[in-house]
Structure 1
Amino acid sequence: MSGDQELALQAKAWPFEEARKLIARHKGKTPAKGYVLFETGYGPSGLPHIGTFGEVARTTMVRRAFQIMAPDVPTRLFAFSDDMDGLRKVPDNIPNQEMVREHLGKPLTKVPDPFGKFESFGHHNNAMLRGFLDSFGFEYEFQSATDWYGSGRFDEALLSVLRNYDAVMKVMLPSLREERAATYSPFLPISPTTGRVLQVPVLEHNPDAGTIVFEDEDGRKTEVPVTGGHCKLQWKPDWGMRWHALGVDYEMSGKDLIPSVELAGKICQILGTQPPEGFNYELFLDDKGQKISKSKGNGLSVEEWLRYAPPESLSLYMFQKPRVAKRLYFDVIPRAVDEYLAFTSKFPAEEPARKLENPAWHIHGGNPPAARSDLSYNILLNLAGVANAESKDVMWGFISRYAPEASPETAPFLDRLVQYAVNYYQDFVKPTKRYRPPTETERAAMTELLDELGRLPEGAKAEEIQFQVYEIGKRHGFADLKSWFQALYEVLLGQTQGPRMGSFIELYGVANTRELITQALERTAEAQPAA
């Protein structure tokens, strides 16, 4: 066993804890099918969203942890699309809605593509999913329910469900309302006449013939095989059947699906297979503490996050505390970026055991890139604020003086951060800037700061500047130095939070900062500058 394997087996980061379940499941050996299978599911009635990203990112982290623990055991990750589901309603955000409405109830892969680009609406959304996952560099294999049902690869599993019909019903019926239970069947026949997925009572189930009998939409008693794509399963029996048929070893899901996981697991066991390992992650909350809902549109989308921050920061957000409900709103972005920079910058100097606990290891598969952390996202945001930056060129004027060796060409990641900071400043900080005049105590302290900055030697560094800022706050009787820095943020920057002042002043420039203080000292309550 290698040193890395030994360390991984003792690592406490949650992906390693999850991976150890799989080590125990197969005793560290390759299962009979030849690989350990990870799965994530996707309902293609809409576009992929931030929850889709989170589930694939987290599953990938567990897969990487397993790979370092059992490097000789092959692994696969299936991104499975439930594209045989019947279209229940017309989404609000698509063209040609009337045309789509005529196909309600049909499998998504039988509904024409309202965008006119693909074979069907399901194929369109599947392409969006693949493009979405590919843009983040995920390693996965796309799988389609339409393909698995239609090709016959699910046939034996479907016949097993039919043979165990009564046992499956015994599991499902107690979970249903009385009215729903009266007409429930695990099988949803696809009407031979209309092509719709029907939620109708099954009048007969014939295991020997491999068929079910139901009343079609035209009122005729109809018999169809459960195989070959003539039927699909209700989603909870479908989940359990899929685990059985594919031999899924690991799949995670949201906390809201715990009852569904339990039901699917029981059905999987009825079919003769051990349910997969996995855990239930907590859901995201919006800025008001309400659960994020796709239909409500509250919270934050992947596209919005990526306007203001790199995808690595979103991966960090997904890595941290997955079992704790977290706010997913715009104001969490700056902290996520700076934490990513901090974790990445300290990674190279860490001991091997500590590296496995570092989120950067899990985000980058053990090989995080170099990233400079002296210019934090917060500092860049504040620079954008005081410079009223409309473009990153303005920002680079300051950065190039601070770090002459840096340029957009030599520091591409920093260049991306600069653009993200400009975007965030323009959209969120600028509209809310509110300067206030200093109190008498603050005015005296800032006057001394103005003088002390004037005495600093040319090229003074952040630590020396920070020391002077601290000492001035102490001399002017701020009982809590936090209140001194709060005053600097509110009076000089027009906001309630801000950067480490020494680092900011070094970047912005001592002369520019003295001009900023001079303007603030001239400010009165009646004359506040516009944001």
Structure 2
Amino acid sequence: MTNEIYMTSKAWPFDQARAILRRLDIEKKRGIDRGDKPVVFETGYGPSGLPHIGTFGEVVRTTMVRNAFIALTEGKIATRLICVSDDMDGMRKVPGTVPNPDELEAYMQKPLTDVPDPFGTHDSFGNHMNARLRAFLDSFGFDYEFMSATELYRSGAYDEYLLRALNKFDDIMKVMLPTLGAERQATYSPFLPISPSTGRVLYVPMKAVNPEDGTITFDDEDGTEVTMSVTGGNVKFQWKPDFGMRWAALGVDFEMFGKDHQDNAPLYSRICKILGGNPPVQFVYELFLDEKGEKISKTKGNGISVEDWLKYAPPESLSLFNFAKPRAAKKLYFDVIPKTVDEYYQHLDGWSRQDEKQRANNPVWHIHNGTPPDENPPLTFALLLNLVSAANASDTETLWGFIKKYAPDATPENSPGLDRLTHYAVAYYEDFVKPNKAYRDPTDQERAALEDLVKRFRNVSAAESNDGEALQTMIFSVGKDHEFENLRDWFKAIYEVCLGQSQGPRFGSFVAIYGPEETADLIETSLAGNLS
């Protein structure tokens, strides 16, 4: 029934997969017969804005857990990944990025699927954003089923649970009211009726709750008392009760969410139980931070978009960033991209030397669902960036000229992974390295050491000219001979004086690719103050 190697893997997706398996075992012991019901993995989406890096993170991480569960159970238990769009939410503000925003003001608080599409491509704003979400997810090849909250409410899929909520109205209120202030308590209701006169989502108190006939009574916006059914899309649930109701109605077995939901998660679970459901396994992940350590916000625009990342790095590296330590707060800004790219290829390089147990802990297992590509570029992304910087290369052809010296058999055709890295490196250099270059003059000690290094580079034997280790040892020797107390300061000086940056990859590896003679020329040019 289970794969024993995956049962002992320490990778967090396998840990979550085992938690789901334990949940199924508990259900079985309680006499709950699931029949052929698949294990349901869920993610949620708010369609008031475009899909963003958090959307990608939630779906890619959930997919990793789903894949781990399938491997753990050897595919003997069916699974589904559903992506639910909360598109019946009332529009609270008009996005500033839409055409003719003033024309949408009249539709405030109407369900997003009842708001006209300002882009003119779909029958509503909600459906336009849903289409953007689906195109976004499809572009990454995710295997998922899309569900619209509007369709779930209006088709009757939620009717049974809305009627249960009527019967359990007091129990739900006992859960919710202690979490609210006195003013909010006075008007709170888990049911949000859709006004029959204006079509808006109403936040109004209930005058009567009638489980016998499945209706609620409230005052409409014009003061008219209205009694109407809770079924058929006449109402929606407040977002916190909606979370728990969705779990119960859709039979969700696993859902992950950000730390901002953590305090509310017990409420979701209690409401799920009140409505006769079994709360899913829940995984809380930390939120991304910007370079200042502040929470990333779409409103502030202080983060990186998926499009931003993919302009400078392969999608696998973005998956790795999401895989690594999801429960630890991580800074997400452009400086992390080169390091993450190289870490991805390091994990990929290690795969061929690992046994099955080790591979289950390797991030590339989870990025590629156990079948990573056979790809190992001979140069790191950091080295490529330094080559672009030293050669001032604005095109990949120049870069390939140096690569051929180091790896003569490599071509863009037979090394497509390396070729795409060259394009990423040029783009990243132009936008982030070049504008921030800051050359400095050397100290007397540094100048003497650099002049010595030039002499040694010009006398390097042919055998050593592309030997990165030998060249690294030579550079170390120069630093020692010129009595640098800390050799890190020596290497930092090389980078700051010659490349206008404070750090980089192993300089010996760079010299092996760029060439000792070319590096000597670069150093002499920098000592003459002719770099800018």
TM-score (norm 2): 0.96
Q: Deviations for 1:93-148, whole angstroms, at most 9, x for unmatched residues?
A: 11121121111111111111010001111011001111111111111111111111
1:364 to 368, 382, 385: 368
Question: Is 1:305 the counterpart of 2:309 in the alignment?
Answer: yes
Question: Is 1:519 the counterpart of 2:525 in the alignment?
Answer: yes
Question: Is 1:403 the counterpart of 2:407 in the alignment?
Answer: yes
Question: Is 1:122 the counterpart of 2:99 in the alignment?
Answer: no
2:35 to 19, 32, 36: 32
1:54 to 50, 53, 57: 57
Q: How many Å apart are 1:520 and its aligned residue?
A: 2.2
Within a 5 Å distance, the mapping from 1:415-430 to structure 2 comes to 415-430=419-434
Corresponding residue number in structure 2 for 1:168: 172
SS in 2 for 1:27: helix
Corresponding residue number in structure 1 for 2:471: 465
Q: Deviations for 1:292-343, whole angstroms, at most 9, x for unmatched residues?
A: 1111111211111111111111111111111111111111111111101111
Q: How many Å apart are 1:508 and its aligned residue?
A: 1.2
Q: Distance in 1 between matches of 2:235 and 2:504?
A: 59
Instruction: Give the residue type in structure 1 aligned to 2:23.
Output: R
Q: How many Å apart are 1:506 and its aligned residue?
A: 1.5
SS in 1 for 2:376: coil
SS in 1 for 2:281: coil
Is the 8 Å Cα contact of residues 453 and 510 (structure 1) preserved in structure 2? yes
Q: Distance in 1 between matches of 2:107 and 2:466?
A: 70
Corresponding residue number in structure 2 for 1:529: 531
1:484 to 485, 490, 504: 490
Q: Distance in 2 between matches of 1:517 and 1:259?
A: 57
Q: Distance in 1 between matches of 2:393 and 2:211?
A: 71
Q: Distance in 2 between matches of 1:440 and 1:370?
A: 48
Corresponding residue number in structure 1 for 2:516: 510
Q: Distance in 1 between matches of 2:97 and 2:394?
A: 31
Instruction: Give the residue type in structure 1 aligned to 2:94.
Output: V
SS in 2 for 1:60: helix
Q: How many Å apart are 1:444 and its aligned residue?
A: 2.1
Instruction: Give the residue type in structure 2 aligned to 1:20.
Output: R
Which deviates more, 411-420 or 119-128?
A: 411-420
Corresponding residue number in structure 2 for 1:499: 505
Q: Distance in 2 between matches of 1:212 and 1:285?
A: 44
Q: Distance in 1 between matches of 2:35 and 2:494?
A: 65
Question: Is 1:214 the counterpart of 2:212 in the alignment?
Answer: no
Instruction: Give the residue type in structure 2 aligned to 1:500.
Output: R
Within a 5 Å distance, the mapping from 1:227-376 to structure 2 comes to 227-376=231-380
TM-score (norm 1): 0.96
Instruction: Give the residue type in structure 2 aligned to 1:267.
Output: I
Q: Distance in 1 between matches of 2:392 and 2:438?
A: 14
Q: Distance in 2 between matches of 1:263 and 1:144?
A: 23
Query: Which sections of structure 1, spanning at least 5 residues, go unmatched?
Result: none
Q: How many Å apart are 1:477 and its aligned residue?
A: 1.4
Q: How many Å apart are 1:433 and its aligned residue?
A: 0.7
Instruction: Give the residue type in structure 2 aligned to 1:472.
Output: V
Which deviates more, 296-305 or 119-128?
A: 296-305
Q: Deviations for 1:44-63, whole angstroms, at most 9, x for unmatched residues?
A: 01101111111111111111
Q: Deviations for 1:29-69, whole angstroms, at most 9, x for unmatched residues?
A: 89335211000000001101111111111111111111111
Within a 5 Å distance, the mapping from 1:20-169 to structure 2 comes to 20-27=18-25, 31-32=34-35, 34-71=37-74, 72-169=76-173
Q: Distance in 2 between matches of 1:200 and 1:493?
A: 64
Instruction: Give the residue type in structure 2 aligned to 1:234.
Output: Q
Is the 8 Å Cα contact of residues 108 and 120 (structure 1) preserved in structure 2? yes
Corresponding residue number in structure 2 for 1:444: 448
Q: Deviations for 1:472-518, whole angstroms, at most 9, x for unmatched residues?
A: 22222122221111111111111001111111111112221111011
Q: Distance in 2 between matches of 1:363 and 1:293?
A: 26
Instruction: Give the residue type in structure 1 aligned to 2:525.
Output: Q
Is the 8 Å Cα contact of residues 342 and 373 (structure 1) preserved in structure 2? no
Q: Deviations for 1:231-275, whole angstroms, at most 9, x for unmatched residues?
A: 110011111011001110000111111122111110001112211
SS in 2 for 1:209: coil
Q: Distance in 1 between matches of 2:177 and 2:404?
A: 68
1:196 to 189, 200, 211: 200
CA-based RMSD of the aligned residues comes to 1.5
Corresponding residue number in structure 1 for 2:394: 390
Q: Distance in 2 between matches of 1:473 and 1:73?
A: 61
Instruction: Give the residue type in structure 2 aligned to 1:529.
Output: L
Is the 8 Å Cα contact of residues 438 and 520 (structure 1) preserved in structure 2? no
Instruction: Give the residue type in structure 2 aligned to 1:132.
Output: F
Q: Deviations for 1:164-220, whole angstroms, at most 9, x for unmatched residues?
A: 000001100111111111101000111111111111111111111111111112221
Is the 8 Å Cα contact of residues 42 and 79 (structure 1) preserved in structure 2? yes
Q: Distance in 1 between matches of 2:200 and 2:4?
A: 54
Q: Distance in 2 between matches of 1:391 and 1:225?
A: 65
Q: How many Å apart are 1:453 and its aligned residue?
A: 1.5
Q: Distance in 2 between matches of 1:354 and 1:529?
A: 47
Length, aligned pairs only: 524
Is the 8 Å Cα contact of residues 377 and 415 (structure 2) preserved in structure 1? no
Q: Distance in 1 between matches of 2:335 and 2:306?
A: 14
Is the 8 Å Cα contact of residues 217 and 226 (structure 2) preserved in structure 1? yes
- Identity of matched residues, %: 56
SS in 1 for 2:472: helix
SS in 2 for 1:251: strand
